[in-house]
Amino acid sequence: MRLALGQMNATIGDFAGNGAKIESLWKQAEAARADLLLVPEMALCGYPPRDLLDRPSFQAEAARLLGELARRAGKTALLAGTFLANPSKTGKPLFNAAVLLRNGRAAAVARKCLLPAYDVFDEVRHFEPAKAPTLVRLGGRRIGLTICEDLWNDKDFFRQRRLYRDDPGETLLSRGADLIVNVSASPFSEGKPRLRRRMLSRLARDGGVPVVYVNLVGGNDELVFDGGSMALDGRGRVRARAALFEEDFVVVDLDGPRVTAVAGSEPADLPDDAENEPLESLRRALVLGIRDYARKCGFQTAVVGLSGGVDSALVGALAVDALGADNVTGLALPSRYSSEGSISDARALAVALGIRLEIVPIEPLFAAAKATLAPLFAGRPDDVTEENLQARIRGMLLMAFSNKLGPLLLTTGNKSELAVGYCTLYGDMAGGLAPISDLPKMRVYALARHLNRRAGRPVIPVSTLEKAPSAELRPGQTDQDSLPPYELLDRVLEGLVERNQTPAAAARAAGAPEALAAGIARQIDRAEYKRQQAAPGLKVSTKAFGSGRRIPIAQVSRA
């Protein structure tokens, strides 16, 4: 039996574009004489469609496209990820489904059994779970059809805590499946490509059957899908693999438990460079997220406020990788407190990246704002109010540039700052996308240094990497005037945010005083109102600020 894996970048709601991509992959599969083409979960409509699923027009377009594909189906079958109406008068209105199309009709329907309702997922909001997985016969094989989460419940792999009682993969093997296929929309987080490979390898080895997995690729809002589709033989070895972070097409032949790559793959189970090098994997995820967010939202260009610091430098470099140097503009917005080194670092970065740089001093506006407010603030010394004024003037000018000339404004705040509220609402938080909002400060430094190593030259100036971080909103200011050292802060934040530890447990794990961890926990809670007004950020960790972390603003913190 010959299978084709169509790893595609679907845009949510672009039924014409998604359909055209499927048609192109189908032609390639037919040319390769494949028996079956697999495309990702919800490839017809894009994932995650969220509450677009409630719109009758959205449902009608999905049904129309599925009908067109069914009529086009010939000898090469297609397993198409989509959603279907639930005919029952009880339960959720839809099923997350994969439809097997062959010879002009729907030959079989697989409905997703395990519906994730954690982190960024909320599939139980719309979908009814299937009572059992689907087993079909095709090309002399008994094929178990699964959808994404259906394979994420192996009792031998997830030993600490399983989220579901049922294991569709185990059920299919017990019913005689000699091939398991999985169509997926599994978003990226650091370490996940390797985790997926290990999980699928365990299933294939334990069952003694090939496992063929096809994943979505591309960015959709905060989520980045990394692809990494693969075919594993009955010994759990990866025998063919699609690229990470780009569209790809792979063909494999199956003979019993054996799998042989035909085209577009690497025949051994050596990991992809991006999987083997975590920082390169992270870079590619962020570049793809920026590129697709801009493209799918109608932007061709971007603007970044360049402060001379490492955060804005990293965002500028990633934006150039994503959109090209000609499509990125840097604005340096110095105030009376900006050092000459910060301005020269912004210039050096712009030269290294090959981007346009405009220097727009904010001193006249800052002085005017202070004079305007002087009668209201009479007798009160300068404090954080005046610091925030500078940040908000910068945000105003950056947004004005974006409004007038049309580029996407990329904000430059990192996860450490966003966690404790060391950021200014309507100031440095202004913008359309926050590319590094899920990177702790020390990860920012690590990725910046990786970019320099990769380029073989200091794209990000060495002076930027070596100087003490500073918002430069008052004389002699450094971040550590208000925050613990970032090395310590990031360790505490990992415990509090990503592991949901108590301050005492986070302090022990980080080697920090418990009082410090408790104070940081209070800062995290107090800053929730800021994060809920922040630009969407690209999720690259196991727990990002965004739709996957739902904390009330009004609460009594008992951290």
269 lies in the same domain as 290 = no
Residue 386: Cβ-neighbour burial (10 angstroms; 0-12, 13-18, 19+)? middle
The domain boundary residue, chosen from 276, 296, 328: 276
How far, in whole angstroms, is CA 312 from its chain's centroid? 20
Establish if 131 belongs to a structural domain.
Answer: yes
Peptide linkage before 271 cis (omega within 30 of 0): no
Catalytic residue among 41, 61, 123, 494: 41
Q: Is the pLDDT of residue 540 over 50?
A: yes
Structurally, the chain folds into a number of domains equal to 2
Instruction: Classify the C-alpha dihedral 358-364-368-370 as positive or negative.
Output: positive
How far, in whole angstroms, is CA 221 from its chain's centroid? 8
Q: What is the pLDDT of residue 271?
A: 47
Give the CATH number of the domain where residue 241 resides.
Answer: 3.60.110.10
Establish if 535 belongs to a structural domain.
Answer: no
Residue 178 tokens read as 């000699």
In the block, tokens 């009709």 appear at 105
What is the average per-residue pLDDT within 101-111? 96
Residue 275 contacts residue 242 (beta carbons within 8 Å): no
Q: What is the pLDDT of residue 11?
A: 98
Instruction: Tell me which of 470 and 223 has the higher pLDDT.
Output: 223
Establish if 451 belongs to a structural domain.
Answer: yes
Q: What is the pLDDT of residue 474?
A: 76
Q: What is the pLDDT of residue 275?
A: 63
Catalytic residue among 45, 113, 148, 423: 148
Distance CA 43, CA 192 (A): 21
The domain boundary residue, chosen from 221, 250, 276: 276
What single-letter DSSP state applies at residue 498?
A: I
Establish if 542 belongs to a structural domain.
Answer: no
- Closest of 250, 247, 291, 289 to residue 8, by C-alpha: 247
The domain boundary residue, chosen from 227, 261, 276: 276
10 lies in the same domain as 61 = yes
Dihedral class, residue 227 (left if φ above 0, else alpha if ψ from -120 to 50, else beta): left
76 lies in the same domain as 214 = yes
355 lies in the same domain as 407 = yes
Distance CA 215, CA 430 (A): 33
What is the average per-residue pLDDT within 61-76? 96
Look up 148 and say whether it is catalytic: yes
Give the CATH number of the domain where residue 475 resides.
Answer: 3.40.50.620
**Segments forming the whole domain that contains residue 105:** 2-276
Residue 232 tokens read as 């594993």
178 lies in the same domain as 201 = yes
155 lies in the same domain as 8 = yes
Q: What is the H or E stretch that residue 491 is in?
A: helix 486-493
**In one letter, which amino acid is 243?**
A
Q: Is the pLDDT of residue 337 over 50?
A: yes
265 pLDDT tier (thresholds 50, 70, 90): low
338 pLDDT tier (thresholds 50, 70, 90): confident
374 lies in the same domain as 330 = yes
Residue 252: Cβ-neighbour burial (10 angstroms; 0-12, 13-18, 19+)? buried
Q: Is the pLDDT of residue 267 over 50?
A: no
Q: What does the chain come to in residues? A: 559
- Closest of 125, 126, 101, 129 to residue 115, by C-alpha: 129
Residue 139 contacts residue 102 (beta carbons within 8 Å): no
472 pLDDT tier (thresholds 50, 70, 90): low
The string of pLDDT tens digits covering residues 214-248 is 999 999 999 999 999 999 999 999 999 999 999 99
207 lies in the same domain as 271 = yes
459 lies in the same domain as 435 = yes
Residue 134 tokens read as 């689907």
| Strand, helix or coil for residue 68 | helix
Q: What is the pLDDT of residue 393?
A: 97
Catalytic residue among 21, 61, 112, 423: 112
184 lies in the same domain as 303 = no
The string of pLDDT tens digits covering residues 549-558 is 999 999 887 5
Q: What is the pTM of this model?
A: 0.95
